[in-house]
Structure 1
Amino acid sequence: MHRSAPATPGKAHAPAPRIRLARVLACAAVPVMLVAVGCSSDSGGDKKSDSASSSASGGKQASSSPSLAPAKFKKLPEACQSIGAGSIDKYVPKAKTKAGEVGKTSDPQSRASCTWNGLDDKGVQGSLYRWLDVDFKRYDSAQGLGTGDALAQKQFERAVSAAQSTADAKNVKTSPVSGLGDQATAITFDLKKTDADFKYGVVVVRTANVVVAVDYNGTGYQGADAPQTNEVQEGATVTAKEAVTAVATANNK
């Protein structure tokens, strides 16, 4: 999920590193069988009747497995259209591709994602790099596995745990996010890579049988500062709300 870092940019004191930075960023369920038992007449008649009744009762119980509640959401939104243009302008200024880059998937109604990244050159004040990723996972109810909501719950827990245990992350903080989906958690942390200090804001949301995970992060190059923790948490939370709304909208059409 954390694929944001561009290649190491150049030094701030010479123009050539800016050229190299631009080049690198351009590349950043068993049938039941009933068996009739033969018995002699007279006193054996009652046994035969009891046996048939018992078999019929057993067959009825075995054939009626408990039904699962159907999944609420049947499809996912277009990932790159789930975040508004205004939010992209605000949180990913100078986005390389404002329409976003669609993630590869073999089943767009079960898995979908989109990524935006941009480098805002502030001249002598340095450059601001921002990266935003929205990821959707949808689960259907399935016999032997569970309901869509239960399966999504497991994925929600995995996603939160993965963010909290990011390799080499520092200052990891986790907090609940109220009023968002059925449950939502925000994770923030610092991560140093490509000789730059990145700030990460991750928000994971479960809305019924869909899990939405937003990863928003950034850094500063050539003298510019990395964003503040509250900035990346805000960006991740705002865009996560938009993504959750997009799920509901896609299923109301």
Structure 2
Amino acid sequence: MHRSAPRLSRILACAAVPVMLVAVGCSSDSGSDGKKSAGSSASGTAGTKPSEPTVEPAKFSDLPDPCTSIGKKTIEDLVPDAKKKGGTAGGSSDLSVRSSCSWNGLDDQGVKGSQYRWMDVGFTRFDSDQSLGSGAKRATADYTKQVTKAKESEGAKKVAAEPAAGIGDEATLVTYGLSKTDEDFVYATVVARTGNVVVTLTYNGAGYAGAKTPSSSDIVKGARKAAKEAVAAVDEIADAETTPPAKSGSGDDAKGDGKDSSESGGKDTATGKGTTKPKSS
């Protein structure tokens, strides 16, 4: 009896070994698969993470001087006897983002009365932003907003709007009448977009002391002309920034480079903004 007890214990112990090995083997395989699965999942997530799409760079990084964006001859024709021929600049915290200028004048025609004219041009530039979209997309949204604003001018009568072909990437002409200071004013507003910049030009006029009210066609013609010049002034910014520098090597080339640098100003490497201002015509 004393001999059989140890023998029985050894038999039971050996019989239990395969069961334990199987259990251990299953546990080991399960752990290995779990780690592999987790690792594969993490690796797959990191490998397939979509990158954010890069927005289109803004076309313009600066704005022209609004008071020189319209030619002197045009100002003389559209705003006779302007109080300030150089215009009155509007306030702005950042002229590279928002700027404006206005002119007004009263042309006294003696016994025939007087003709009053007023014109305003404004620029708004939008940068490309990863979260907000491209500058052009943001400008398009503002363009639509400005057209609606013009059509909803307080007190406006006989409001009409139509596309203004040939001005920027897109443009709308809004016309209406408005009575103030006991006179009938004729208004024309051109809202245009070129790239990431919105240009809003308003031109209006009235006849005082018995003078005839200006015709809508004349006011519209003047507004379209001035708006085209304002948009062209914006486009000159991009032209100046994308013009490659002259090759050095000869004396003439060196002189040419010096001239370009002093006149155009190039691009501010610290701010990334163009410093070119269009010349007044």
Q: Shared topology, TM-score over 0.5?
A: yes
Which residue of the other structure, out of 110, 124, 129, is the alignment partner of 2:97? 110
Cα 1:105–1:57 shift into 2, 3 Å? farther
- 1:237 aligned to 209, 215, 224, which one? 224
1:138-173, Cα deviation, whole Å (9 max, x unpaired)? 001112211111110111011100111111111111
Residue 152 (1) aligns with residue 128 (2): no
Q: Structure 1 residue 49: deviation in Å? A: 2.7
Structure 1 runs of 4+ with >4 Å offset: 60-63
CA–CA separation in structure 1 for the residues paired with 2:192 and 2:186 = 20
C-alpha distance in 1 between matches for 2:195 and 2:34: 52
Residues in 2 aligned to 1:173 and 1:54: alpha-carbon distance in whole angstroms: 61
User: Are 2:210 and 1:223 aligned?
Assistant: yes
Q: CA deviation at 1:63?
A: 6.6
2:31 to 44, 48, 57: 44
- Structure 2: 5+ residue runs without aligned partners? 1-26, 241-281
Q: Share of identical aligned residues, percent?
A: 48
TM superposition shift of 1:251 = 2.7
Q: CA deviation at 1:248?
A: 1.0
Q: Return the offset for 1:62.
A: 4.5
Alignment correspondent of 1:125: 112
- Mapped partners of 2:73, 2:48: distance in 1: 57
In structure 1, what is the Cα distance between the partners aligned to 2:53 and 2:122? 32
1:25-40 counterparts in 2 under 5 A?
A: none
Query: Which secondary structure does the structure 2 equivalent of 1:55 belong to?
Result: helix
One-letter amino acid matched to 1:232:
I
Give, in whole Å, the separation in 2 of the partners of 1:231 and 1:50. 77
Counterpart position of 1:94: 81
Which shifted more, 138-147 or 123-132?
138-147
1:171 paired residue number: 158
More helix by share: 2
Q: What is the RMSD of the two structures over their aligned residues, measured on CA atoms?
A: 1.5
Summarize the Cα distance change of 1:116–1:61 in structure 2 as closer, same or farther, 3 Å threshold: farther
Change in Cα spacing, 1:227 to 1:70, as seen in structure 2 (3 Å) is same
Aligned mates of 1:105, 1:167 — CA distance in 2 = 24
Inter-partner Cα distance in structure 1 for 2:237 and 2:72: 18
How much has 1:193 moved relative to structure 2? 0.7
- 1:41 is displaced (CA, Å) by 4.5
Closer, same or farther in 2 for the Cα pair 1:227/1:61, shift >3 Å? farther
SS of the aligned residue for 2:33 comes to helix
**How far 1:55 moved relative to its partner?**
2.1
What is the rounded CA distance, in whole Å, between the counterparts of 2:211 and 2:48 in structure 1?
69
Pair 1:247-2:231 in alignment: no
Across the two proteins, how many residue pairs are aligned to each other?
214
CA deviations 1:94-134 (Å, max 9, x no partner) are 01100011110001000010001111000111111000000
- 1:139 is matched with 126
Bigger mean CA offset, 43-52 vs 103-112: 43-52
Report the AA paired with residue 170 of structure 1. K
Secondary structure of 2:222's counterpart equals: helix
SS of corresponding position for 2:239: coil
Q: Does 1:193 align with 2:166?
A: no
Q: Distance in 1 between matches of 2:137 and 2:192?
A: 14
Residue in 1 aligned with 2:44? 57
**Alpha-carbon distance in 2 for matches of 1:219, 1:171:** 16
